């Protein structure tokens, strides 16, 4: 008899299993959500560095994306809402040898945590910040965020959003980030390469990843899961080196993806060493 088990007795090992707390799977993310894709790109990028895993740590705030820190098999920190960056800054400044990744969402990093973001960028804190931007507060059921497009419907803007959203690459660049890029979850190879490059980059690196939230955002804006992905495919254009001032998210005009900023500037910890610490021959 030829066996055709519908379910293999033992599931084949996933190539990223060594970076995942498999005992915590299944994860909490909804069907159609893009966070898992960003998460696996991040893990692939970590793997791709060849650096031992104990040299990495992941810090997150609060929200759907922030749960990533609970699934990664690294020293990982799920902190308070908006505070991942200052928590991570404490880690980095106390032990500059660590590669510190902040993995969180747009609501966490840019509304409640917006002040921390701009200051860490200003200081060129050597962090890699991966922001899953789903344009809404997913975990609390889809409220308006600092990234929600003007006129979009959410549970707290039932008549449409009267406000304008942030242009995240522009904010990062204007605040002093060393590396700024934007991708979507449809551009996984570019995204993985970009995160890998950002981790190797000394200084504040920021990667925005557009990611659908069909349950809590798409549903209220007549955008089915595949519609969002089609927008990512058809209404985006990759323009490395583009002016971040032109990076507004407007799918009618087209959305720019790619690497906006890649500059070299002294990091916060290296500046502290050279400015504040006594010279060895003092």
Partner 1 sequence: MKPAVLTGEHYITGDVACAEGALAAGCRFFGAYPITPATEIAEHMAERLPDVGGTFIQMEDEIAAMASILGAAWTGVKSMTATSGPGFSLMMENLGLGVCTETPCVIVNVQRTGPSTGLPTLTGQGDMMQARWGSHGDYEIIALAPSSPQDCFYHTIQAFNLSEKYRVPVLVMADEIVGHMSEKVVIPKASTISLVDRPKPSGRKDRFKLYQPGPNGVAPMPAIGEGYNVHVTGLTHDERGYPAMSVEAQEQMMTNLKGKIRNNLEDIIETESYRLEDAEIVIVSYGISVRTGLTAVDEARKLGYKAGLLRLVTVWPFPEEQIRELAARVKGLITIEINLGQVHYEVERCAGGQAPAHLVGSAGGKIIHPDKVIALIKEKF
Q: Which residues bind partner 1 (CB under 8 A)?
A: 21, 24, 54-55, 57, 59, 69-70, 73-80, 83, 85-95, 97-98, 115-116, 119, 268, 272, 276-278, 282
Measured from the CB atom, the residue of 1 and 276 that comes closer to partner 1 is 276
Q: Smallest gap, in angstroms, from Cβ of residue 267 to partner 1?
A: 13
In 10 A of CB 111, how many CB atoms?
Answer: 17
Alpha helices in the chain (DSSP H): 35-49, 68-71, 84-94, 106-107, 114-123, 168-175, 188-200, 225-234, 268-276
Q: Smallest gap, in angstroms, from Cβ of residue 74 to partner 1?
A: 6
Can you tell me whether residue 104 is helix, strand or coil?
Answer: strand
Distances in Å between the Cα of 88 and the Cα atoms of 60, 76, 189 are 9, 10, 27
Measured from the CB atom, the residue of 30 and 98 that comes closer to partner 1 is 98
- Tokens 């990982």 correspond to what residue? 76
Measured from the CB atom, the residue of 79 and 205 that comes closer to partner 1 is 79
Which tokens hold the place of 145?
């965020």
Measured from the CB atom, the residue of 10 and 277 that comes closer to partner 1 is 277
Q: Smallest gap, in angstroms, from Cβ of residue 216 to partner 1?
A: 20
Q: Smallest gap, in angstroms, from Cβ of residue 194 to partner 1?
A: 25
For residues 235 and 233, what is the distance between their CA atoms, to the nearest angstrom? Answer: 6
Measured from the CB atom, the residue of 82 and 244 that comes closer to partner 1 is 82
Can you tell me whether residue 279 is helix, strand or coil?
Answer: coil
Q: Smallest gap, in angstroms, from Cβ of residue 58 to partner 1?
A: 10
For residues 135 and 67, what is the distance between their CA atoms, to the nearest angstrom? Answer: 17
| Of the candidates 92, 161, 171, the residue with the CA atom closest to the CA atom of residue 131 | 171
Measured from the CB atom, the residue of 92 and 201 that comes closer to partner 1 is 92
Q: Smallest gap, in angstroms, from Cβ of residue 21 to partner 1?
A: 7
| Of the candidates 185, 209, 211, 200, the residue with the CA atom closest to the CA atom of residue 262 | 200
């Amino acid at each position: 008899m030829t066996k055709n088990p519908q379910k293999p007795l033992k599931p084949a090992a996933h190539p990223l299993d060594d970076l995942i707390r498999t005992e915590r799977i299944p994860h909490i993310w909804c069907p159609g959500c893009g966070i898992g894709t960003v998460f696996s790109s991040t893990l692939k990028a970590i793997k791709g560095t060849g650096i031992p895993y104990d040299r990495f740590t992941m810090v997150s705030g609060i929200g759907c994306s922030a749960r990533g820190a609970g699934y990664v098999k690294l020293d990982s920190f799920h902190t308070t809402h908006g505070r991942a960056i200052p928590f991570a800054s404490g880690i980095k400044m106390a032990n500059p040898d660590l590669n510190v990744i902040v993995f969180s969402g747009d609501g966490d990093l840019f509304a409640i945590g917006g002040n921390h973001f701009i200051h860490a960028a200003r200081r060129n804190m050597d962090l890699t910040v991966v922001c899953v931007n789903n344009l809404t507060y997913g975990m609390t059921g889809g409220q308006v965020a600092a990234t929600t497009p003007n006129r979009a419907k959410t549970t707290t803007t039932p008549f449409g959003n009267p406000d304008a959203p942030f242009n995240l690459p522009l904010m990062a660049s204007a605040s002093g980030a060393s590396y700024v890029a934007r991708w979507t979850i449809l551009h996984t190879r570019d995204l993985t390469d970009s995160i890998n490059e950002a981790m190797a980059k000394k200084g504040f690196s920021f990667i925005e990843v557009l990611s659908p939230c069909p349950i809590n955002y798409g549903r209220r804006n007549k955008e089915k899961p595949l519609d969002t992905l089609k927008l990512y495919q058809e209404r985006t254009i990759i323009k490395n080196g583009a002016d971040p001032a032109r990076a507004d998210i407007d799918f009618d005009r087209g959305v720019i993806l790619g690497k906006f900023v890649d500059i070299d500037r002294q990091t916060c910890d290296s500046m502290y060493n050279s400015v504040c610490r006594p010279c060895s021959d003092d």
